Amino acid sequence: MSTDPWGRVDDDGTVYVRTAEGERAVGSWQAGEPEEALAYFHRKYDELAGQVQLLEQRVRGTDLAPAQAEASIGKLREAVSEAHAIGDLDALTRRLDGLTELVAQRREEVKAAREHARAEARAVKERIVGEAERIADETTHWKSGGERLRQLVEEWKAADRIDRVTEAALWKRLSAARTAFAKRRKQYFAGLDEQREGVRAAKERIVAEAEAIADSTDWGQTAAIYRELMQQWKTAGRASREVEDELWARFKAAQDQFFQARSAVFAERDASLAANAEVKEELLAEAEKLLPITDVRTARATLRHLLERWEAAGPVPREQRDRLEGGLRKVDEAVRKAEDAEWKRSNPEARARAQSTVDQLRTSIEQLEKRLSKAQAAGRAKDVKEAEEALIARRSWLAEAERTLTEFS
Average pLDDT over residues 142-151: 90
Q: What is the pLDDT of residue 163?
A: 86
Share of the chain above pLDDT 90, in %: 37
Cβ neighbourhood burial of 256 (10 Å; 0-12, 13-18, 19+): exposed
Banded pLDDT at 406 (limits 50, 70, 90): confident
Q: Between these two residues, 356 and 76, which has the higher pLDDT value?
A: 76
Q: CA–CA separation, 377 vs 370, rounded Å?
A: 11
Among 15-29, 46-60, 261-275, 326-340, the minimum mean pLDDT is found in 261-275
Q: What is the pLDDT of residue 200?
A: 86
Q: CA–CA separation, 191 vs 60, rounded Å?
A: 67
Average pLDDT over residues 43-47: 94
Q: What is the pLDDT of residues 268-304, one digit of tens each?
A: 777 777 888 888 899 999 999 988 888 888 988 998 9
Average pLDDT over residues 226-236: 91
User: How much is the mean pLDDT over the chain?
Assistant: 87
Q: To the nearest 5 percent, what fractions of the chain are helix, strand and coil?
A: 80, 5, 15
401, 409, 399: which is closest to 354 by C-alpha?
A: 401
Res 227 pLDDT > 60:
yes
Banded pLDDT at 2 (limits 50, 70, 90): low
- DSSP letters, 325-371, are HHHHHHHHHHHHHHHHHHHHHT-HHHHHHHHHHHHHHHHHHHHHHHH
Res 324 pLDDT > 80:
yes
Res 120 pLDDT > 80:
yes
Could you tell me the end-to-end alpha-carbon distance of the chain, in angstroms, rounded to an integer? Answer: 167
CA distance to 199, 220, 235, 252, per residue, from 206 (Å)? 10, 19, 12, 11
Res 34 pLDDT > 80:
yes
DSSP state of 2: E
Cis preceding-peptide flag for 348 (omega within 30 of 0): no
Banded pLDDT at 151 (limits 50, 70, 90): very high
Banded pLDDT at 43 (limits 50, 70, 90): very high
Banded pLDDT at 174 (limits 50, 70, 90): very high
Q: What is the pLDDT of residue 297?
A: 87
Res 314 pLDDT > 90:
no
Average pLDDT over residues 178-202: 83
- pTM for the full predicted model: 0.38
Q: CA–CA separation, 87 vs 45, rounded Å?
A: 6
Q: What is the pLDDT of residue 78?
A: 92
DSSP state of 293: P
Cβ neighbours around 127 below 10 Å, total: 13
Average pLDDT over residues 362-374: 87
Q: Which helix (H) or strand (E) holds 294?
A: none
